[in-house]
Amino acid sequence: MQRRSILLSSGVAAATLMAAHTSAQAQPAIRWRMTSSFPKTLDTLFGTSEFVCRRVSEMTDEKFQIQLFAPGELVAGNAVLDAVGKGVVDAGHTASNYYTGKDPSFAFDSVVPFGMNSRQQSAWMIMGDGKKLMRNLFKEQNIYNVPCGNIGTQMGGWFRKEIKTVADLKGLKIRLPGLGGDVMAKLGALPQQIPGSDIYPALERGTIDAVEWIGPYDDEKLGFNQVAKYYYTPSWWEGGGQCSMYVNLDKWNELPKEYRAVFEAACAEGQAYMQAMYDTLNPPALRRLIAKGTQVRPFSNEIMTSAYAAAESIYEEISAKNPRFKEIYDNWKAFRNSQIQWLGVAERRFDNMMATVIR
């Protein structure tokens, strides 16, 4: 104290401290609690929320700190929407298609069968109307939503028997939640809702015939290859899987504007980080699975075109009774179709050409 008191006897030092005081006001210490929908064992998904919390701290010289909790520690993995909206936690990392039971419109914030791939979804969110439409939707839940991660096109899951035609799907018990399950049901399958921890024994005992999870790297950890031989591709119900960061809207509004910018930038970094992790970890994981006997099988064109028709009819049915879904769907569909036409001109031609020259 003494040294400071001496300094304060000079007007210059006092002015310096006054400037310092202003700066201190602009840099308050903030502590948040964040919950994740994803178990710690999924280092891809949980790891992305860890990455975001670390980067927020680094960008603010540790002044904005977010404590991260695994599912079940504070909030169940599939209850993040309500928990964040009500302020049980300040933020949550989750996937919005977990909440289609509340309103199927939430799927557009994550993934819709026969929807957009990772890059197309990002374009809709960043430059299209996706962000505005999703913010309107989440505002009613008292949530500010920020895209935070994408998985890319997922695998179509593990099947105990080969599936060649739509007829083979009849009565098939497949663990597949959300809109993808609705499409499967239209094709005659019996979609099952089974919590993550119960999936393996159900598949092993034959209580279910098939399970969709994520992709090679994550699936390998759960050992599905030990109880199902056929690994189908692609997941036409998850051409990209966007994850989201939810923030309690009151907490968001209270946050100094520079911390809001920091949080959004950290989520953008997290988005790139998650996609890069999947893209880097999946190829060797698939090679390991194949080496252990997994048989990769493409879905037949008959199954995919039938599923597409079923999906479109479901979207029309929902649109007829849910005006908000219709508003978003119409915007999303026009953007998707434009993206797919353009993709065929350069990017998809390049990718297909590379597949012919690299073996």
Binding region: 154, 175, 212-213, 238
Cα–Cα distance measured from residue 174 to residue 191, given in angstroms and rounded to the nearest whole number: 5
Nearer to its own copies, 204 or 264 (CB): 264
Annotated binding-site residues for Na(+) read 213
Nearer to its own copies, 190 or 234 (CB): 234
Nearer to its own copies, 73 or 342 (CB): 342
Measure the N-to-C terminal CA separation of the chain; round to a whole number of Å: 72
Nearer to its own copies, 50 or 103 (CB): 50
As measured in angstroms, the least distance from the Cβ of 80 to its own copies is 23
CB distance 187 to 310 below 8 Å: yes
As measured in angstroms, the least distance from the Cβ of 124 to its own copies is 8
Nearer to its own copies, 67 or 337 (CB): 337
The one-letter amino acid at 64: F
For the four alpha carbons of 282, 342, 179 and 97, in that order, the dihedral sign comes to positive
As measured in angstroms, the least distance from the Cβ of 138 to its own copies is 20
CB distance 233 to 298 below 8 Å: yes
Nearer to its own copies, 68 or 75 (CB): 68
* DSSP codes of every residue in 232-293: EE--TT-SS-EEEEEEEHHHHHHS-HHHHHHHHHHHHHHHHHHHHHHHHHHHHHHHHHHHTT
Annotated binding-site residues for substrate read 154, 175, 212, 238
As measured in angstroms, the least distance from the Cβ of 271 to its own copies is 7
**Cα 21 versus chain centre, distance:** 41
As measured in angstroms, the least distance from the Cβ of 120 to its own copies is 7
Sort 266 into a burial class: Cβ within 10 Å, 0-12 / 13-18 / 19+: buried
Nearer to its own copies, 41 or 352 (CB): 352
CB distance 118 to 234 below 8 Å: no
As measured in angstroms, the least distance from the Cβ of 153 to its own copies is 4
Alpha helix ranges (H) inside the chain: 2-7, 11-26, 45-59, 80-85, 118-126, 130-139, 178-186, 196-205, 216-222, 249-254, 257-291, 301-321, 323-343, 347-357
**Cα pseudo-dihedral 310, 313, 317, 322, rounded to 10:** 100
SS3 of 8, please?
coil
As measured in angstroms, the least distance from the Cβ of 345 to its own copies is 6
